[in-house]
Amino acid sequence: MEVTKEKWGQSPAGKDIFLYTIRNESGAFVRLSSVGAGIVGIAVPDKEGKLADVVLGYPDAASYFADGPCSGKCPGRFANRIALGKFTLDGVEYNLPLNNGPNHLHGGPEGFQNQVWDSRIVDDAVEFMYFSEDGEAGYPGDMKVVARYEWSEDNALKLFLTARTDKTTVVNLTNHAYFNLDGEGAGDILSHELKLNASVYLPTDETLIPVGEPDPVAGTPMDFQEFKMIGTEIKEDFPALNYGKGYDNCWIINGFEPGQLQTAATLRSPRSGRVLEVLTTQPAVQIYTGNWLSGSPVGKCGRSYFDYEGVAIECQHCPDSPNKPDYPTTVLRPEELFEEAIIWQFSVA
């Protein structure tokens, strides 16, 4: 395994940004950036052995700051939405910035995804660390977050997320990479086939905040229990699809047990033969089909991406969990360690 580090510009505040490449013996590689502990590129072979970058992203570090798609980065302190930017914890109400209609999304406009993390090479892995101060974006507690990436000889990217706090708080961490298994810039992902290990999903209101109990997917366009082309029902007249202009919803992973890896999703492209299996210890997965990618910064392919050119498979806790006591808890107390894992396993079929 070869791990390299290079300077990749500076943040608006003047902090150095670094770009890391982890390359295995076959030549397949991952590129990571200290902006938002982000995945900048993943080059893996197709069925003919040809390498291509299958992650959407930008050719320069500056474009990763405050981009609408949150491309490839780790949002926080709370990934996804919190209704009305409010939650109550141990009898105290906290107010967060609103940046998604009436709601708080991905930690707000200055979330973890828009910060330059400290970074280092540790053996064959790359570690990113961010220290979030008490009161940052309205959240309580000093929090230290570490994102550790490992790349394997069989083309598996492993992300280990840990966090500690000195005051009771809430946390929800994930990675927001967009995948196109035909290669970034190769067109839309509507012909990709998706399978989810989930028999229920969370219905939402029109602002994408969950309402009521989880609903069975059977008999609806939300059913991906068997492989189905993403585009098959994406234009159906169905509330979840109307609200988000496509899929932007949370599915509950079957058989969730804290700390245990489960397959969340499998994505495959008949065209390239590439297959991506996503495993996680987290209870849910948000599928977002890039419904609003148009207008994003110019991509690595030399142009801005169009809608539906990538799909994000965001393993996480459920949106609005701080206001939903029935959901798996996102509360982190000083004596506890937040510890979750996501694995992206690439292969060909």
Q: Which residues are catalytic?
A: 176, 314
Instruction: Give the chain as a 3 state SS string.
Output: CEEEEEEEEECCCCCEEEEEEEECCCCCEEEEECECCEEEEEEEECCCCCEEECECCCCCHHHHCCCCCCCCCCCCCECCEEHHHEEEECCEEEECCCCECCEEECCCCCCHHHCECEEEEECCEEEEEEEECCCHHHCCCCEEEEEEEEECCCCEEEEEEEEEECCCEECECCCCCEECCCCCCCCCCCCCEEEECCCEECCECCCCCECCCCEECCCCCCCCCCCEECCCCCCCCCHHHHHHCCCEEEEECCCCCCCCCEEEEEEECCCCCEEEEEEECCCEEEEECCCCCCCCCECCCCCECCCCCCEEEEEECCCCHHHCCCCCCCEECCCCCEEEEEEEEEEEC
